[in-house]
Chains A and B, each alone.
Chain A
Amino acid sequence: MLKPFVAVLARDLLLAWRGRADVLVTLGFFVIVACLFPFGVGAEPNQLRAIAPGILWVAALLATLLSLHRLFGQDFADGTLEHLLLSPEPTVLWVLAKILAYWLTTSLPLVVAAPGLGMLFDMEQGGLMVLCLSLALGTPILSLLGAVGAALTLGLRGGGMLLALLVLPLFVPVLIFGAGAVEAHLSGTGASAHLLLLSGGALGALVLGPWACAAALRVAAE
Chain B
Amino acid sequence: MTMQSSRGFHLFHFAAPNTFYPLAGRLAPWFAGLAALLAALGLWLAFFVAPTDATQGEVYRVIFIHVPAAWMSMFVYLVMAFWSGMGIIFNTRLSALMARALAPTGAMFCFVALWTGALWGRPTWGAYWVWDARLTSQLLLLFLYFGYIALTEAIEDPRRGDRAGAILALVGAVNVPIIYFSVKWWNTLHQGASVSLTKAPSMAATMLWGMLIMALAAWAYTIAVALWRVRSLILERERHTDWVSAELDRQGARP
Contact = CB atoms under 8 A, between A and B. Distances in A.
A binds B: yes
Interface of A: 145, 148, 152-153, 156-159, 162, 165-166, 168-170, 172-173, 176-177, 180, 184, 201, 208, 212, 215-216, 219-220, 222
B183 A172 contact: yes
Given A176-B183, A212-B167, A222 B159 contact: yes
A212 B175 CA distance: 13
Q: Which label, helix, strand, loop or mixed, suits the secondary structure of the A interface?
A: helix
Interface in B5-31: none
Sorting the interface of chain B by its residue count into under 10, 10 to 19, 20 to 34 or 35 or more gives 20 to 34
A144 to B, nearest CB: 11
11 contacts: A148-B167, A148-B171, A165-B143, A166-B150, A166-B168, A169-B147, A170-B175, A201-B178, A212-B170, A219-B160, A220-B160
A111 B181 CA distance: 26
Contacts of B172: 170
Contacts of A219: 160, 163-164, 167
Contacts of B47: none
Nearest to B143: A169
Interface of B: 88, 140, 143-144, 146-147, 150-151, 154-155, 157, 159-160, 163-164, 167-168, 170-172, 174-175, 178-179, 181-183, 185-186, 189
A65 B175 CA distance: 18
Contacts of A152: 151, 164, 167-168
B167 A156 contact: no
Given A177-B182, A220-B160, A166 B167 contact: no
A166 B170 CA distance: 13
Main secondary structure of the interface of B (DSSP, over half): helix
Contact of B164 (A157, A176, A216): A216
A145 B108 CA distance: 26
B107 to A, nearest CB: 13
Given A180-B186, A212-B167, A222-B159, A166 B147 contact: yes
The 7 closest A-B pairs by CB, nearest first: A173-B182, A169-B143, A219-B163, A166-B147, A176-B186, A176-B182, A169-B140
A221 to B, nearest CB: 10
Contacts of B189: 180, 184
Contact of B147 (A157, A165, A208): A165
Contacts of A220: 160, 164
A208 B167 CA distance: 12
Q: Which of A169, A180, A208, A220 has the most CB of B within 10 A?
A: A169
B148 to A, nearest CB: 9
Given A166-B147, A172-B140, A173-B178, A158 B164 contact: no
A59 to B, nearest CB: 19
Nearest to B174: A208
A190 to B, nearest CB: 13
Contacts of A172: 140, 179, 182-183
A104 B34 CA distance: 57
A145 B167 CA distance: 12
Given A220-B160, A222-B159, A169 B185 contact: no
A41 B160 CA distance: 45
A208 B170 CA distance: 11
Contact of A165 (B150, B155, B170, B175): B150
A219 B162 CA distance: 9
A162 B151 contact: yes
A172 B168 CA distance: 16
B160 to A, nearest CB: 6
B27 to A, nearest CB: 31
Contact of B154 (A148, A162, A176, A184): A162
Contacts of B163: 215, 219
A219 B166 CA distance: 11
B143 A222 contact: no
A33 to B, nearest CB: 21
